[in-house]
Amino acid sequence: MENVIELNNVTKSFKGFELKDLSISVKKGFVTGFIGGNGVGKSTTIKLIMNLLRPDSGEVSLFGMNYREHEKEIKQRIGFVFDNNILYENITLSEMKRIIKPAYKNWDDTIFQHYVNLFELPLKKQIKTFSKGMLMKASLTFALSHHAELIIMDEPTSGLDPIFRRELLDILHDIMQDGEKTIFFSTHITTDLDRIADYITFIHNGQHIFTKEHYKIEEDYAIVKGETNLLDRDTEREFIGIRRSNYGFEALTMNRQRTQNIFGNTVILEKPTLEDIMLYTKKGNDNYVESYS
């Protein structure tokens, strides 16, 4: 299967933060959700993919091309949405269009008009008067108006009301229908991913934890509930993270079948949500750090 985005052993360090040996690939024709907590490197990764940052080492390639030689060709094929407003504030939407349109060879005025009508965006009002939702709609309109093959979005649903969040997901679902487009987006709101994501990429503390097909996650991972006396040094190793309470323990395993074989009927296995996975991975990592520091 063709990869649209490939990061190979990418390292980027800042003061107090580092992306370590990150290798991620995003498959063509699918929606990949990009999850992880605050400050674990999601935005940095997206900036590396957009060439807003350059890696200290490692390779970033899009559509099989690198930025060093094909920067403009790559960017022609990307539509982008950032979580904060990047449009000029003191001009109107139609003036903004006059600025962005000439940058793209495949700009399509009918699509632009279609989304402007759909989102009821005012063309003659200054962009600084737009609400957060309108700004997001405007950015999305620009991202979709030049037949981009890859749509990259950084937290597009944060700060949006639930109704527009659903509308947005429906629109994204619609544009995926021809099988030619690819969407890569980061989010905190993991329930959004249940609706549209085919793949989930999860990073934690600058490291790639997994990229899996969405349905596979429920097959592999499980929340395990049982009595605390089942836990000892050996059985604890089976889990990514453990939460103890007076009534027993709750833990996350990444090998449902194995856990089932070990504990049999003494524990209850439940389907985890993405939030469970994020939470226990963080817990597990923190414990690891604690016990070794």
Interface residue list for another protein (CB under 8 A) = 50-53, 71-73, 75-76, 78, 80, 82, 84-88, 90-91, 95, 98-100, 102-104
CB of 115: closest distance to another protein in angstroms?
Answer: 18
Looking at the Cβ atoms of 80 and 115, the one nearer to another protein is 80
CB of 55: closest distance to another protein in angstroms?
Answer: 12
Looking at the Cβ atoms of 92 and 255, the one nearer to another protein is 92
CB of 192: closest distance to another protein in angstroms?
Answer: 22
Looking at the Cβ atoms of 127 and 274, the one nearer to another protein is 127
CB of 91: closest distance to another protein in angstroms?
Answer: 7
CB of 152: closest distance to another protein in angstroms?
Answer: 9
CB of 234: closest distance to another protein in angstroms?
Answer: 47
Looking at the Cβ atoms of 181 and 214, the one nearer to another protein is 181
Looking at the Cβ atoms of 70 and 195, the one nearer to another protein is 70
Looking at the Cβ atoms of 87 and 269, the one nearer to another protein is 87
DSSP calls for the chain: --EEEEEEEEEEEETTEEEEEEEEEEETTSEEEEE--TTSSHHHHHHHHTTSS--SEEEEEETTEEHHHHHHHHHHTEEEE-SS--S-SSSBHHHHHHHHGGG-TT--HHHHHHHHHHTT--SSSBGGG--HHHHHHHHHHHHHTT--SEEEEESTTTT--HHHHHHHHHHHHHHTTTS--EEEEE-S-HHHHHHH-SEEEEEETTEEEEEEEHHHHHHH-EEEEE-GGG--HHHHTTEEEEEEETTEEEEEES-HHHHHHHHGGGSEEEPPPHHHHHHHHHHHHHHHHHHH-
Distance CA 32, CA 152 (A): 10
